Amino acid sequence: MAKKKETADQEQFRLEEAFDRIEALLEKLQDKDVTLEESFGLYQEGMGLLKLCNENIDHVEKQMLQIDEEGQTHEFS
């Protein structure tokens, strides 16, 4: 059980890091001194991070269970 919590904490930590990095990329993209070539690189990095975030979130959603009135668990839909 502790291992599952540790894994979830690690995923959350990585998501938070990714969100922070995406925010930093957005700030850089708004800088008027960024060249077009640099902006393409920043954009690609951001899109890669967004893809990883979406994959992690999808993975967590698939693991979620819903509990009904009788206490039975069912996959979340």
Number of folded domains in the chain?
A: 1
Handedness of CA 50, 55, 58, 64 (dihedral sign): negative
Residue 77, pLDDT > 90, answer: no
DSSP state letter for 68: -
Domain that holds residue 53: 2-75
CA distance 45 to 34: 15
CA distance 1 to 17: 25
Q: Compute the mean pLDDT over every residue in the chain, rounded to the nearest whole number.
A: 82
Q: Report residue 59's pLDDT band, with 50, 70 and 90 as the boundaries.
A: confident
Question: Residue 1 has what pLDDT?
Answer: 45
Residues with Cβ within 8 Å of residue 1, at least 6 apart in sequence: none
